[in-house]
Protein backbone atom coordinates (compact mmCIF):
# COMPACT_ATOMS: atom_id res chain seq x y z
CA UNK A 1 0.00 0.00 0.00
CA UNK A 2 1.33 3.46 -0.94
CA UNK A 3 0.99 6.29 1.47
CA UNK A 4 0.21 9.75 0.15
CA UNK A 5 0.93 12.99 1.97
CA UNK A 6 -1.97 15.39 2.21
CA UNK A 7 -0.78 18.99 2.24
CA UNK A 8 -3.91 20.74 1.03
CA UNK A 9 -5.43 21.20 4.48
CA UNK A 10 -2.23 22.89 5.69
CA UNK A 11 -2.28 25.24 2.75
CA UNK A 12 -5.91 25.94 3.48
CA UNK A 13 -5.10 26.56 7.13
CA UNK A 14 -2.20 28.83 6.22
CA UNK A 15 -4.44 30.72 3.84
CA UNK A 16 -7.09 30.96 6.51
CA UNK A 17 -4.50 32.33 8.97
CA UNK A 18 -3.53 35.09 6.53
CA UNK A 19 -7.15 35.98 6.02
CA UNK A 20 -7.66 36.25 9.76
CA UNK A 21 -4.47 38.35 10.12
CA UNK A 22 -5.50 40.82 7.44
CA UNK A 23 -9.00 40.99 8.89
CA UNK A 24 -7.61 41.87 12.33
CA UNK A 25 -5.16 44.36 10.80
CA UNK A 26 -7.91 46.07 8.82
CA UNK A 27 -9.92 46.46 12.01
CA UNK A 28 -7.03 47.74 14.13
CA UNK A 29 -5.32 50.18 11.75
CA UNK A 30 -8.24 52.63 11.43
CA UNK A 31 -8.30 52.89 15.21
CA UNK A 32 -4.62 53.81 15.26
CA UNK A 33 -5.28 56.35 12.53
CA UNK A 34 -8.15 57.87 14.48
CA UNK A 35 -5.94 58.10 17.56
CA UNK A 36 -3.09 59.76 15.62
CA UNK A 37 -5.26 62.59 14.28
CA UNK A 38 -6.02 64.17 17.68
CA UNK A 39 -2.33 63.86 18.59
CA UNK A 40 -1.34 65.71 15.41
CA UNK A 41 -3.77 68.51 16.28
CA UNK A 42 -2.34 68.74 19.79
CA UNK A 43 1.23 68.94 18.48
CA UNK A 44 0.21 71.62 15.96
CA UNK A 45 -1.53 73.62 18.68
CA UNK A 46 1.55 73.49 20.93
CA UNK A 47 3.81 74.64 18.08
CA UNK A 48 1.49 77.55 17.27
CA UNK A 49 1.27 78.50 20.95
CA UNK A 50 5.05 78.57 21.29
CA UNK A 51 5.39 80.62 18.10
CA UNK A 52 2.88 83.20 19.30
CA UNK A 53 4.58 83.35 22.69
CA UNK A 54 8.01 83.90 21.14
CA UNK A 55 6.63 86.63 18.87
CA UNK A 56 4.93 88.36 21.81
CA UNK A 57 8.18 88.37 23.77
CA UNK A 58 9.93 90.04 20.83
CA UNK A 59 7.38 92.75 20.15
CA UNK A 60 9.84 95.17 21.77
CA UNK A 61 13.35 94.56 20.49
CA UNK A 62 16.29 96.74 19.47
CA UNK A 63 16.19 95.53 15.88
CA UNK A 64 14.76 96.71 12.60
CA UNK A 65 11.06 95.92 12.26
CA UNK A 66 10.37 95.75 16.00
CA UNK A 67 9.00 98.26 18.47
CA UNK A 68 11.81 100.24 20.09
CA UNK A 69 12.19 99.36 23.79
CA UNK A 70 10.64 102.02 25.99
CA UNK A 71 12.60 103.80 28.72
CA UNK A 72 12.25 106.65 31.18
CA UNK A 73 15.40 108.42 32.38
CA UNK A 74 15.84 111.43 34.61
CA UNK A 75 18.70 113.64 33.47
CA UNK A 76 19.01 116.99 35.18
CA UNK A 77 15.60 118.67 34.97
CA UNK A 78 14.55 116.56 31.99
CA UNK A 79 12.75 113.22 31.78
CA UNK A 80 13.65 111.30 28.64
CA UNK A 81 11.05 108.96 27.14
CA UNK A 82 10.27 107.77 23.64
CA UNK A 83 6.55 108.13 24.32
CA UNK A 84 6.91 111.92 24.47
CA UNK A 85 7.98 111.91 20.81
CA UNK A 86 5.28 109.57 19.49
CA UNK A 87 3.76 110.96 16.32
CA UNK A 88 7.03 111.93 14.64
CA UNK A 89 10.23 110.18 13.66
CA UNK A 90 12.97 109.93 16.28
CA UNK A 91 16.65 109.42 15.59
CA UNK A 92 17.79 107.77 18.83
CA UNK A 93 21.57 108.05 19.01
CA UNK A 94 23.89 106.51 21.62
CA UNK A 95 27.46 107.74 21.84
CA UNK A 96 30.57 108.37 23.93
CA UNK A 97 33.53 110.66 23.40
CA UNK A 98 35.79 107.63 24.04
CA UNK A 99 34.37 105.94 20.93
CA UNK A 100 35.59 107.76 17.82
CA UNK A 101 33.06 106.23 15.43
CA UNK A 102 30.01 107.13 17.51
CA UNK A 103 31.41 110.60 18.20
CA UNK A 104 31.83 111.30 14.48
CA UNK A 105 28.34 109.93 13.74
CA UNK A 106 26.95 112.23 16.44
CA UNK A 107 28.53 115.25 14.81
CA UNK A 108 27.01 114.31 11.44
CA UNK A 109 23.56 113.81 12.98
CA UNK A 110 23.85 117.08 14.86
CA UNK A 111 24.81 118.98 11.70
CA UNK A 112 21.76 117.57 9.95
CA UNK A 113 19.17 117.71 12.74
CA UNK A 114 20.50 119.38 15.86
CA UNK A 115 19.33 122.93 15.31
CA UNK A 116 15.85 121.94 14.06
CA UNK A 117 15.24 119.01 16.41
CA UNK A 118 13.01 121.01 18.77
CA UNK A 119 10.84 122.57 16.05
CA UNK A 120 10.67 119.97 13.25
CA UNK A 121 7.30 118.21 13.45
CA UNK A 122 8.48 115.27 11.36
CA UNK A 123 11.80 114.28 12.95
CA UNK A 124 13.79 114.91 16.12
CA UNK A 125 17.23 113.91 17.35
CA UNK A 126 17.43 112.27 20.77
CA UNK A 127 21.13 111.81 21.43
CA UNK A 128 22.24 110.06 24.65
CA UNK A 129 25.81 110.31 25.90
CA UNK A 130 27.56 107.64 28.00
CA UNK A 131 30.66 109.59 29.09
CA UNK A 132 32.06 108.88 32.56
CA UNK A 133 31.09 112.34 33.82
CA UNK A 134 28.75 115.16 32.88
CA UNK A 135 31.68 117.59 33.07
CA UNK A 136 33.48 115.69 30.30
CA UNK A 137 30.25 115.56 28.30
CA UNK A 138 29.87 119.36 28.51
CA UNK A 139 33.45 119.85 27.41
CA UNK A 140 33.00 117.59 24.38
CA UNK A 141 29.79 119.40 23.51
CA UNK A 142 31.71 122.68 23.51
CA UNK A 143 34.63 121.33 21.46
CA UNK A 144 32.43 119.65 18.86
CA UNK A 145 29.98 122.58 18.74
CA UNK A 146 26.97 120.34 19.33
CA UNK A 147 23.41 121.59 19.76
CA UNK A 148 22.77 121.31 23.49
CA UNK A 149 18.99 120.75 23.25
CA UNK A 150 19.40 117.49 21.35
CA UNK A 151 22.03 115.80 23.56
CA UNK A 152 21.73 114.37 27.07
CA UNK A 153 24.17 112.80 29.49
CA UNK A 154 22.99 109.82 31.59
CA UNK A 155 24.34 108.29 34.79
CA UNK A 156 26.35 105.07 34.73
CA UNK A 157 23.37 103.16 36.16
CA UNK A 158 21.01 104.42 33.43
CA UNK A 159 23.72 103.84 30.81
CA UNK A 160 23.91 100.22 31.90
CA UNK A 161 20.15 99.76 31.55
CA UNK A 162 20.09 101.33 28.09
CA UNK A 163 23.12 99.32 26.97
CA UNK A 164 21.31 96.13 27.95
CA UNK A 165 17.97 96.74 26.25
CA UNK A 166 19.55 98.26 23.13
CA UNK A 167 22.39 95.71 22.81
CA UNK A 168 25.26 98.21 23.01
CA UNK A 169 27.86 95.88 24.51
CA UNK A 170 29.57 95.53 21.11
CA UNK A 171 29.39 99.18 20.10
CA UNK A 172 27.19 102.25 20.09
CA UNK A 173 24.30 102.40 17.66
CA UNK A 174 21.67 104.74 16.30
CA UNK A 175 18.05 103.86 15.57
CA UNK A 176 15.57 105.62 13.32
CA UNK A 177 12.14 105.11 14.89
CA UNK A 178 8.90 105.82 13.02
CA UNK A 179 5.76 107.61 14.24
CA UNK A 180 4.34 104.40 15.75
CA UNK A 181 7.53 103.62 17.66
CA UNK A 182 8.88 100.97 15.29
CA UNK A 183 12.56 100.80 14.33
CA UNK A 184 12.90 101.30 10.58
CA UNK A 185 16.68 101.62 10.27
CA UNK A 186 19.80 100.94 12.34
CA UNK A 187 22.81 103.28 12.03
CA UNK A 188 21.15 105.17 9.17
CA UNK A 189 23.06 107.54 6.93
CA UNK A 190 21.79 111.03 6.24
CA UNK A 191 20.61 109.92 2.80
CA UNK A 192 18.69 106.98 4.30
CA UNK A 193 16.99 109.23 6.84
CA UNK A 194 15.90 111.73 4.19
CA UNK A 195 14.64 108.96 1.90
CA UNK A 196 12.56 107.30 4.64
CA UNK A 197 11.11 110.58 5.92
CA UNK A 198 10.16 111.81 2.45
CA UNK A 199 8.56 108.54 1.37
CA UNK A 200 6.17 108.18 4.32
CA distance 126 to 111: 13
pLDDT for res 103: 97
27: containing domain: 7-57
Is the domain of 42 the same as that of 96? no
pLDDT at 8: 47
Residues 121, 155 share a domain: yes
Residues 91, 163, single domain; the answer is yes
Mean pLDDT of the chain: 79
Domain count within the chain:
2
Cα atoms in the 13 Å half-sphere on the side-chain side of 146 = 29
List of the chain residues with pLDDT < 50? 1-15, 17-18, 20-26, 28-29, 31-35, 47, 51-57
What is the enclosing helix (H) or strand (E) of 106?
A: helix 100-113
As a residue count, the chain comes to: 200
Q: How far apart are CA 99 and CA 117, in angstroms?
A: 24
Residues 52, 137, single domain; the answer is no
Do residues 82 and 179 both lie within one domain? Answer: yes
Check whether residue 40 and residue 105 sit in a common domain: no
Which pLDDT score is estimated for 22? 46
- Whether 184 and 101 share a structural domain: yes
Whether residue 182 is contained in a domain is answered as yes
The reported pLDDT for the residue numbered 113 is: 84
Helix (H) or strand (E) holding 18: helix 8-57
Per-residue confidence (pLDDT) for residue 60, from 0 to 100: 64
Could you tell me if residue 11 is inside a domain? yes
Tell me the per-residue pLDDT of 175-197, one tens digit each, with 9 for 90 and over.
999 999 999 999 999 999 999 98
Give the predicted TM-score (pTM) of the model: 0.69
Task: Say how far apart CA 81 and CA 74 lie, in whole Å.
Answer: 9
Do residues 103 and 126 share a domain?
A: yes
Answer yes or no: is 109 within a domain: yes
Is 158 found in the same domain as 108?
yes
Amino acid sequence: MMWTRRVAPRAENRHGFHEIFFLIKSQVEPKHFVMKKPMSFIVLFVVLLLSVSAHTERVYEAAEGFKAPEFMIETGDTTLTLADHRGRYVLLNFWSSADAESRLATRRYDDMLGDSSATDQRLCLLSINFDRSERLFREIMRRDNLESKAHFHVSSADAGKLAEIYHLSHGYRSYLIDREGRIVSVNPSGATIRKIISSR
